Structure 1
Amino acid sequence: MKFRVSLAAAASAIVLAACGASDRAYESSPAMAPPPEAMKMADAPMEEAVAAEGGEAAPETAGAVQYIAYSHSIGLRIPVAAIEPTMQAHIDACNKAGPAVCVVTNSWLNAYSEDQASASLNIRATPVWINTFLGGIEAEAEAVKGEVTNRQTTAEDLTVTIIDTDARLKAQILLQERIEELLADRPGNLGELLETQRELARVNGEIDSLTSSLAALRQRVNMSQLSVGYETKTDPLSQGALEPLGHAFGSFFYNLASAVAAVVTAFAVGLPWLILIGALLWIWLRLIWPRIRRKKPPAA
């Protein structure tokens, strides 16, 4: 019984310590700060966006750390012959940088015809690599007689989530150490040992889960996401530009036959109704209407 009381008291103390650790983590968390280069490059797009809107950036709180996950997307309209080489060059540049700097997460290419194709490329890379890539993409598109059609940058603030997850992880580690001390100093009976070991296993699982979550969150901050879309820039004199006209002439007789078939179908559906309406009109005019006229009194 004393052992259970001690275990409960230790858990309560750890929870209180966790609350204090969480409060202190919100005030200052220098150990969680990402590399200065990454933070500078991550903050740059947001500052540029604020400046572009004519606003002023909010003053930074002394000692505060922000964790921002950026996502970028850009669209290119280039000649069909340049789509695959351009996308492959981007893939090669990412692979050359290495997995610690850039990773290709998804890519696909669809060729609809000789003059129509589209492609997409998704990348996770450091803010420095992505800013360098975006800085030269417009000149690269112009070099192949293409253009940039759209740009978009979105930011997600993960500061609260990361700090809270880190504080919970530290609290679980403290609880793990305390339970291990209790197991070593106060073995107790078999039932108490089993209960304590089950609690230790639960804490270990929670530590593993929080560690994975924290690593994923930090990865989102340190490695931004980039999506590149490629679409065809149609040449007015190409064969593809005249393709709709060719389809129209090729389908002329088919469309004519379809129109005649529609007329015949409409006539076949409406013919019984025409016969019925004609019969009713004949009965009205030949049989009913003359009798009505005969029954009318002569005008004075």
Structure 2
Amino acid sequence: MGGSRGLAALLLAAMLVLAACGRPGGAPDARTLAAAPAAGMAAAEMARGQGGQGEQQEAERRYLALKYALTVENTADALEAGWKSVVQRCQALGCELLEAGFTRSRDGASPRGELRARIAPKSLPDLLKAAEQGGTVVSNAVSSEDKTDQVIDAEARIKNTTELRDRLRAMLQNARGPLRDVIELERELARVQGELDTIHGLRKMLAAQTERNEVRIDFVARESFVSQRKVSPLRDAFNDIAELFLGSLAMLIRVAAGALPWLLVGVPLLWLALAWRRRRVARRKQAVPAPPDGAGPR
């Protein structure tokens, strides 16, 4: 648009000069000569103004990494079907899947699903609509991170490193010195090329973050009237009772196991001691003479 305006102004200036030359006498008047440079200057200023606006817009461009976080709620029975439909829709829209998984109900825990992907901004509304169809969106959050400084730094490093690599290549092609200098040039060229590849990888990662939106969708089960969370205190109480009973039983078993060796040794010893005592008492009774008949006390 700016280029067409500048061209029109230049054409206007040329037409003024030609019209002046076609007048009687073949020479333009003073007003025409004054108008022609003014038109040319206006065209130049317009072109410069349009170029300045382009440079300013390029300088003011911001590179933002947008992240969307949603929580979709549905019944436990329909949760997996809703998760699958959103994943399939995401793949159909050409999104980049970063993470996708579903955990089924087990041991009383509620099922859960998650989806994390990067998608083009133009396809984002379709994915959000699919998420709304997969259940009830109970939370929705958007965050952004400015990556402008990192992008500018990466592009400047790419430019400078590319120029250095090209100079090293030219020096290597024209190298006529000792073999040691040639090897050193090749080594430096390989190092610079590796650094350039690393910066290109960083710029590619920044482009993926800023040119596509990251979306995270969590799928949670809707609680029923008698939900697991409501009955969990009662279940925990029964678990505590069972744990106390089993703990006490385990303690008794440990005590019995610890006392068994002593019982195996102590019971026979006690029996032998009692038997020895009974025999001793019997011997004493036998050793005492019985009194004669009629010799009792008077």
Aligned with 1:210 (options 196, 199, 211): 199
Q: How many Å apart are 1:242 and its aligned residue?
A: 7.3
In the alignment, what sits opposite 1:109? Answer: 102
Give, in angstroms, the shift of residue 210 of structure 1. 0.9
Change (3 A) 1:69 1:241: closer
Distance (whole Å) between structure 1 residues aligned to residue 53 and residue 205 of structure 2: 21
Match of 2:61 among 56, 62, 65: 65
Runs of 5+ in structure 2 lacking a partner? 1-51, 250-298
CA distance in 2 between partners of 1:209 and 1:29 (Å): 30
Q: What SS does structure 1 have at the residue aligned with 2:77?
A: helix
Structure with the greater relative contact order (CA < 8 A, sep ≥ 6): 1 or 2? 1
Contact 2:89 2:127 in 1 (8 A): no
Counterpart in the other structure of 1:247: 235
The reply on whether 1:129 has 2:123 as its aligned counterpart is yes
Q: Which amino acid aligns with 1:169?
A: I
User: In the alignment, is the contact (CA less than 8 A) between 2:83 and 2:134 conserved in 1?
Assistant: no
CA distance in 1, matches of 2:208, 2:237: 56
Distance 1:248 1:188 in 2: 83
Preserved CA contact (<8 Å) 2:65 2:213: yes
Using a 3 Å threshold, how does the CA distance of structure 1 residues 184 and 254 change in structure 2: closer, same or farther? closer
Q: How does 1:18-33 map to 2 (within 5 A)?
A: none
Identity of aligned residues (%): 19
State how far apart, in whole Å, the 2-side matches of 1:81 and 1:210 are.
48
Question: Partners of 2:237 and 2:168 in 1: how far apart?
Answer: 83
Distance 2:176 2:209 in 1: 43
Aligned residue number for residue 83 of structure 1: 79
Distance 1:138 1:206, change over 3 A: same
Task: Give how far 1:123 is off.
Answer: 1.3
Residues 205-248 of structure 1, C-alpha deviations (whole Å, 9 max, x = no match): 1111111111111111122211111111122167x577548737
Aligned partners of 1:180, 1:163: CA distance in 2, in Å? 26
Retained in 2: the 8 A contact 1:165–1:214?
yes
Q: TM-score, normalised by structure 1?
A: 0.56
Aligned residues: 196
Amino acid across the alignment from 1:222: E
Whole-angstrom distance in 1 between the partners of 2:81 and 2:158: 46
Give yes or no for contact 2:115–2:217 (8 Å, CA) kept in 1: yes
Max Rg structure: 2
Structure 1: unaligned runs, 5 residues or longer? 1-26, 31-60, 142-146, 262-300
Are residues 66 and 242 of structure 1, via their aligned partners in 2, closer, same or farther at CA, if it must alter by over 3 Å? closer
State the alpha-carbon separation in 2 of the partners of residues 223 and 176 from structure 1.
31
Whether contact under 8 Å (1:73, 1:152) holds in the other structure is yes
Whether the 8 Å CA contact 1:29–1:65 is kept in 2: the answer is no
